[in-house]
Amino acid sequence: MFILEPNLHERVPGVFDESGMVKALLPWTEWKKMLELQKKEKVKCFVISHEPYPEEFYRGLEKGSLLIRYGVGYDAVPVELCRELGILVANTPGTLDQSVAEHAAALMLAAARHIVTLDREVKSGGWNPVMARELRGQTLALIGFGKIGRTLASIAKFGLGMRIVAFDINEGIRSSFPDLFDEFTTSFEEAVSDADFVSLHMNLNPHTRGFLNAERLEYFKSGSVLINTARGGVVNEQDLFSALKDGRLACAALDVTAAEPYVPLPGADLRTLSNVIMTPHVASNTGAANRRIAESCIENAKKYGQGKLSELTLIPELQDLV
């Protein structure tokens, strides 16, 4: 049995209801009620969203409780505190790769073909058939070559005929997926210096927060396009704003921002720039992906209830707790 946030239940109610494992539906703001229910009903499994639960919530959990992150990213979870308290944290790896990669490809196409601008112009009575880019033969640099990056590489390389440059700090990837890229590098500067499009696929952690700053943006080829479906926090938005306003970048297509809903920095509102495309963190929000995520959450909850802790999809940092 597990406690579930109502907004997550609404995405695929049938899947959760059919499992018969939902003990209660409580929004994250009612975390105190969650803790009360844990004590009263002995429920030690929680399916949570990306919301920033307060430290008191984690400290109130019983040792050995399981938090299942609905999705993949867990930057809002205080991992070290969970380790200290003996709290297990799982996520749902592999469930949203296709959906996020497709959205990144859609943003890339929208930027290359000026889809958003042209749509607005036609609807307002205009008719300005500006020249666009064909993607075949263009170079796409993938910053992070995990599952999502590799899925996008397959779409872009085999579907669109693009040249793929893969950047990752894991040198072992070079020999693991040679068919998916034309060039592999562990140098960020080398990856982006000749790229027409740069797509970010990095986790957000203390090492990557603000990674894409003014210094690294200088490495970009003039007129290139940035795509971000990873985490907004990996980009310094003030520096990105400057690069877009100055014309060093042709366009930025963003599904994620540092603050969500988006809150602009003073004097650097990305929404005011015509060369910015924004969507509200929806890359993974498809029916198919939500079903896979929900099923993975339920499977984790079942294994937890059966005491099969070694079979949980725990986040790497806490796998040694079982």
Catalogue the active-site residues.
231, 260, 281
283 neighbors 232 (Cβ within 8 angstroms): no
Beta-sheet strand order (sheet of 88-90)? 22-25, 2-4, 45-48, 66-69, 88-90
Which residue shows structure tokens 């939500």?
A: 290
Tokens found for residue 164: 């793929």
What are the backbone angles phi and psi of residue 293, rounded to the nearest 5°? -65, -50
Whole-angstrom CA distances from 180 to 137, 154, 161 are 15, 6, 12
How many whole angstroms separate alpha carbon 255 and alpha carbon 234? Answer: 13
Which residue shows structure tokens 């929404």?
A: 271
72 neighbors 91 (Cβ within 8 angstroms): yes
Instruction: Provide the b/e sequence for 275-300 (b: ≥16 CB within 10 Å).
Output: bbbbbebebbbbeebbebbbbbbbbb
